[in-house]
Amino acid sequence: MRRRTLTLRLIAASAIWIVGTLCAAGLLLLLLFQDHIERRFDAALADHLQELAAASEVGQDGTLQLSWQPFDPRFNRPQSGWYWQIEQGDAIVERSQSLWPERLRPGPASADERIQELTGPAGERLRAVVTPITLPGAPGGFVYTIAGPAVDVHQDVREFGTKLALTLAVLALGLVGAVVAQVHYGLLPLKRMRLALAHVRSGAATRLPETFPGEVQPLVHELNALLDHNADLLERARTQTGNLAHALKNPLTVIRSEAGAIAAPHGPVLREQVDLMGRQIEWHLARARAAGAHGVLGARAAVADVAKDLQFSLERLYHERALEIEVRELNRLVFQGDAQDLEEMLGNLMDNACKWASSRVRLSGTRSGARLRLAVEDDGPGIAEHDRERVLQRGRRLDETTAGAGLGLAIVRDLAELYRGSLELTRSSLGGLCATLDLPAAAPTAGSGPAIDVPLPVGR
C-alpha cells in the first residue's frame, strides 16, 4: 500500500472538501434554477389564463362566449402540448384547437392550489394552472385550465444542470490544482529539512542551516542542539576513555616491572596475566571508544588527510629500514565516520605492513557508490590462506618474536564491523599481504574539485 504522507493527506482532505462543497453548491443552484424556471412557466400560463378570462363574456341566454382566443399559435396546433379548456360542471364549454376532441381532467380547483400535474391527450406530462372563475350573469361558475408541456421545464433544468456540472468540474480541477501547488509550496521547508538531515547523516554537513521559516525554525534549533549534545557526549566519552587508559597504564606498568623481578616460577605466570590484562584493557577501550563514535550524525573524515599523517609518522618510526611508504588514489575519498576510528584502522594496518614489509608499503583507495575500499599492501612474506582467519582472532599472532599484542587486526575488523564494513586479507600484487577495508563513504564537500587520482608525495 502507498505510504500515507502529509502531502497526500492535505491534498486528499482539501479535494474531498472542495468536491463536497461544489456538489452541494451545484445541487442548491440546480434547485434554485428549477424553482425559477417553474415560476416563469407558471407565470406564462397565468398570463394566458388572464387573457382567456378577459375574452370571456356571458350572453343574455347565460351561455359563455369568447370575444377572442389566445394569440399563441401553439394552442392551434393539434397535440402540441399547449392546451386550454373551460368547464362548467362536467361539460366542456370551450377548448383550444390543439385539444380537440380530447379534454383535460384536472382535479378539484381551489384558490390555494392552482398548479396541477396532468396527463395530456398523447400521454405526455403537463403542468397546468387551474382556476375557478365566476362571471356576472352566469348561472354557475366556470373552471379555466391552461396547460403546457412539463418537458420544457425539465429540458431547461437538464441543460442548465449539464452546463453547471461542467463548469463546477473545471472549477474543482482548478481548485484542487491550486491546493496541490499550495501544499507543495507550503511543505518545501520540510523537504529542505529532509535533504539537510540527509546531508548531515551522510557526513556532507555537521549542522542544519538556520534559514528555515519561523514555524520550522524551532525544530531546527532543537535538532542542532541534539547534534551538539551528541558531539559533547562523544567527546566526553573519549576523554573518560583516555583517562581510564592512563589511570590503568601506570599501575600495570608497576606490576609488570615488579613481576619481572620475581625469580620464582610465579613470576612468568604473573607477567603473562599482566600482559593479558593489558591486552584486554586495550581491546575494550578501543571498542568502547569506537562504539561511542559510530552512528554520530555528521561524522566524516578525509582519507587523504589521515593517510598523510600516518605516512609521515611511520616514515619517522621506520626510518632506519628506509621503507618506501606510498599513499595514492585517495583524493576526494571521505569516510562516513569518526577520524580517530579511521586513523585507528589504517594505523594498525599500515604499522603491521611496515613490520613485515621488505622495502615497500602501499595504501590506495577507490569509491563505489556509497562504499569505500581502502587497501594496505606490503612486499613481505604475506600470510598463508589457511592462517588468515586465525590472525583476525583476538590475541593471536603467527610470529611470537615480533613485537605486538596480537590485537591490531582484530581491533581493525571489529571497528570496521561497527561501521557495517569488513576487513579482508588477500594476496598482494607486491608479493605480501593485502588488507582491504570496506567502509561507508560520505559525499565529498562542495567545491573540492574533480575526482583526480594523484599519488601523494612521499615524506612530509
> Domain locations in the chain?
6-156, 202-298, 300-440
pLDDT tens figures, 366-411: 998 889 999 999 998 888 888 877 777 654 444 443 444 445 688 8
Which of the given ranges, 192-196, 428-432, 455-459, has the highest pLDDT on average? Answer: 428-432
454 pLDDT higher than 80 = no
Identify the DSSP state of 35: H
Distances (CA, A) of 248 to 229, 279, 410, 424: 28, 12, 22, 33
Pick the CATH number of 300-440 from 3.40.50.1820, 3.40.190.10, 3.30.565.10, 3.40.50.300: 3.30.565.10
Cross-strand pairs, 64: 58
Q: How far is CA 19 from CA 170, 179, 185, 361, in A?
A: 11, 12, 22, 73
Q: CA 332 → CA 350, 392, 448, distances in Å?
A: 20, 30, 7
For residue 240, which of 291, 280, 282, 288 has the smallest C-alpha distance? 288
- Residue 108 or 447, more confident: 108
Residue 183 has pLDDT above 50, yes or no: yes
- The lowest-confidence range among 87-91, 215-219, 434-438 is 215-219
- 78-82, 152-156, 278-282, 299-303: which range is least confident on average? 278-282
**Three cell numbers at 312?**
609521515
Please say if the pLDDT value at position 205 is more than 50. yes
Residue 62, helix vs strand vs coil: coil
Q: What is the pLDDT of residues 2-40, one digit of tens each?
A: 456 788 888 999 999 999 999 999 999 999 999 999 999
pLDDT average, residue stretch 193-203: 77
**Residues 373-406: b if buried by 16+ CB within 10 A, e if exposed:** bbbbbbbbebbeeeebeebbeeeebeeeeeeebb
Q: Return mean pLDDT, the chain.
A: 82
C-alpha cell at 399: 610470529
Indicate the pairing of strand 422-427 with strand 433-440.
antiparallel
Residue 190 has pLDDT above 90, yes or no: no
